Amino acid sequence: MIEKVERLVMEAAIEQWSYSTPKEASYVNSKDRVVEPSVCVTVVDSSLTKSGKCAVVALRCTDRKGLLVSILKALNALDAHVVSASVETTGEGVAENRFVVTLPEGLGGGGVQAAVMKVLTGTS
């Protein structure tokens, strides 16, 4: 009897957790919804990096194909490596992302902000 209950609980859990992914991503046409891009960078002390600094990068903009990859490439070019990330796109097509990145010696929050803003505005 216990085995039957365990099986039923497991089947219910799998059904609840199961989801299907769309075969093709759909994006809101950037002409239909434009969100003013914004980037906020907060530098924090960290004993986990050689420089002793990390940055929390919070951004908001209209989502588009390849946005995440472009942001990661810009951060990598600065030698700012992602330690943690929270990536979300709202139903309205707005990307709301937060990254914690390592800061190499000599790189401040302003450099990170400028590089990410170039990506968000399409000027990079």
This prediction's pTM: 0.73
pLDDT on residue 55: 93
Domains and CATH numbers, the chain: 2-121 (3.30.70.260)
- Full pLDDT tens readout for the chain, 124 residues: 666 666 666 666 566 555 555 556 565 565 666 789 999 999 999 887 888 899 999 999 999 889 999 999 999 999 999 999 999 988 888 999 999 999 999 999 999 999 999 999 987 6
DSSP codes, the chain: -HHHHHHHHHHHHHHHH-----SS-----TTT-----EEEEEEEE-TTSSSSEEEEEEEEEE--TTHHHHHHHHHHHTT--EEEEEEEE-TTSEEEEEEEEE--TT--HHHHHHHHHHHHHT--
